[in-house]
């Protein structure tokens, strides 16, 4: 593909180098724009700004495509484990049998938390949000493992393995603290997601603990959330890391970015919306009408996406999984019926069709998490567990190159220069 570009600012014309990605995405290199013309681009929300080149994930919002390292999400989901996907994102290729065995053994060997992390979790108030605790616990791990990280690449790899192994242990300890229950030690005989369910629900009577099918479903959910290109939290991890901030602090920053209801907290917002519809008698038509009424405060959560302009490929996979999980647990959840009714009504309504408001991954994930017994506040923590390998892959990629420290520009719209007036004359 032969492409040339130039930009004219006043009487100055600047030729722009053109970057073409492997999927024929076109980017205009404007790094010299300000130096040569005095102008900067204006792009609130960075929706049209390519901040980096990346080989981790490809996303086409127009066609509904999501690929990790070239592999379609539809092929990965249900065919490989979350640890295999983690290795893929971190290393660039799916592991062979020997690599997977060694990686799995190492993950199992490092699941236990340092004593000070348990103390930090215990010190939080009972009503503290789990994401606040997760961020603090993650940040505290730098005091334990950062010495290794600074010495060698092997030390950094170890730090990243430790966090992958300990994220579920932290999440389970947060949950059990909130329930007034003692933490459950990790079980090295169990696979990643099965061990997480064990640490969460052992001794509580929850049927999810010890059920291999439920563990497999959770593993799939983690895979669907493992990476999603340059989203808010991933961009935050890269931006913070660009200051040569350590790995744990960069991930902690990503956690706080994910916390927001417009990002990782969206699945909780979907459940709260469905609760509101239940309170109105489960009337789907009422909800659709409210969503279309510009004067209504009601918002239809879980539909549409900042990037996907048609369907979210993850939503198709997770919808099937919702039926499987609820069927397995024997739960007749009225919210699932409302969710399906909303989807059907919205897909037939011209208002939603014209705006391409299709269900996204958050629409069904919250229903599954609630069915499994996770409290609402923990939904975003589960998102973080799934997203950790993606964050890590992007942090590694950004810091492996000669990346500059992130420093966006602005268009100043404040007061012009003026003099300070003495206090008595103001």
Mind giving me the DSSP string for 2-71? Answer: ---EEEEETTEEEEE-EEE-TT--EEE--TTHHHHHS-----GGGTT------SSEEEETTTTEEEETTE
Check 305, 312, 394, 398 and give the catalytic one. 305
Q: Structure tokens of 324? A: 């499987």
pLDDT of residue 100: 97
Domain residue ranges of the chain, discontinuous segments joined by + = 5-66, 72-259, 266-371
Alpha-carbon distance 144 to 132, whole Å?
Answer: 20
Catalytic residue among 227, 246, 312, 362: 362
Q: What is the pLDDT of residue 137?
A: 97
Whole-number pLDDT of residue 88? 98
Question: CA-to-CA distance for 9 and 64, rounded, in angstroms?
Answer: 36
Question: What's the confidence (pLDDT) of residue 139?
Answer: 94
- CATH topology for 266-371? Cytochrome p450-Terp; domain 2 (1.10.230)
Decide: pTM greater than 0.85: yes
**DSSP per-residue letters across 134-164:** HHHHHHHTHHHHHHHHHH-HHHHHHHHHHHH
CA 174 to CA 393: how far, in whole Å?
26
- Indicate the CATH number for domain 5-66: 2.20.28
Q: What is the predicted pLDDT for the residue at 152?
A: 63
Question: What pLDDT was estimated at residue 149?
Answer: 54
Task: Let me know if 211 is a catalytic residue.
Answer: no
Q: How far apart are CA 85 and CA 155, in angstroms?
A: 22
Ordered mean pLDDT values, 10 residues apiece, the chain (426 residues): 80 88 87 87 87 93 92 94 98 97 96 96 94 96 68 77 97 96 97 97 90 92 96 96 92 96 85 88 88 87 78 86 82 77 82 82 86 90 97 94 86 95 96
Give, in words, the CATH class of 72-259.
Answer: mainly alpha
Which sign does the torsion angle of CA 89, 229, 72, 343 carry? positive
Active site residue 127: no
Single out the residue of 318, 355, 319, 311 nearest to residue 64, CA to CA: 311
């Amino acid at each position: 593909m032969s492409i040339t570009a130039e930009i004219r600012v006043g009487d100055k014309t600047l030729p722009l180098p053109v970057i073409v990605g492997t999927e024929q995405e076109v980017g205009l290199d404007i790094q010299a724009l300000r130096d040569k013309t005095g102008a900067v681009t204006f792009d609130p929300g960075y929706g049209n700004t390519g901040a980096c080149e990346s080989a981790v994930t490809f996303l086409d919002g127009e066609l509904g495509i999501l690929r990790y390292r070239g592999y379609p999400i539809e092929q990965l989901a249900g065919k490989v484990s979350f640890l295999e996907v983690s290795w893929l994102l971190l290393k660039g290729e799916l592991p062979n049998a020997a690599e997977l065995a060694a990686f799995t053994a190492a993950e199992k060997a490092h699941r236990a938390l340092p004593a000070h992390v348990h103390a930090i979790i215990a010190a939080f108030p009972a009503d503290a949000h789990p994401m606040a605790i997760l961020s603090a616990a993650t940040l505290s791990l730098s005091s334990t493992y950062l010495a290794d990280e600074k010495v060698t690449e092997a030390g950094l790899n170890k730090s990243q393995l430790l966090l992958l192994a300990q994220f579920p242990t932290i999440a389970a300890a947060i949950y059990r603290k909130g329930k007034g229950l003692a933490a459950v030690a990790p079980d090295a005989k169990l696979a990643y997601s099965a061990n997480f369910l064990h640490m969460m629900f052992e001794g509580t009577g929850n049927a999810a603990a010890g059920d291999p099918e439920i563990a497999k479903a959770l593993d799939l959910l983690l895979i669907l959330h493992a990476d999603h290109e340059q989203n808010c939290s991933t961009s935050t991890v890269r931006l913070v890391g660009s200051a040569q901030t350590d790995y744990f602090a960069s991930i902690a920053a990503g956690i706080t970015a994910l916390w927001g209801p417009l990002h990782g907290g969206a699945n909780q917002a979907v459940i709260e919306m469905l609760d509101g519809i239940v309170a109105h008698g489960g009337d789907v038509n009422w909800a659709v009408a409210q969503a279309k009424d510009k004067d209504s405060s009601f918002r239809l959560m879980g539909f549409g996406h900042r990037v996907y302009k048609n369907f979210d490929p993850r939503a198709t996979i997770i919808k099937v999984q919702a039926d499987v999980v609820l069927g397995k647990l024997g739960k007749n959840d009225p919210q699932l019926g409302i969710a399906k009714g909303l989807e059907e009504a919205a897909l037939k309504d011209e208002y939603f069709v014209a705006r391409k408001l299709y269900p996204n991954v958050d629409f069904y994930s919250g229903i599954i998490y609630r069915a499994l017994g996770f409290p609402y506040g923990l939904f975003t923590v589960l998102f973080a567990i799934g997203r950790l390998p993606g964050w890590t892959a992007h942090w590694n990629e950004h810091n492996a190159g000669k990346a500059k420290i992130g420093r966006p520009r602005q268009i100043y719209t404040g007061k012009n220069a003026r003099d300070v007036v003495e206090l008595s004359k103001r």
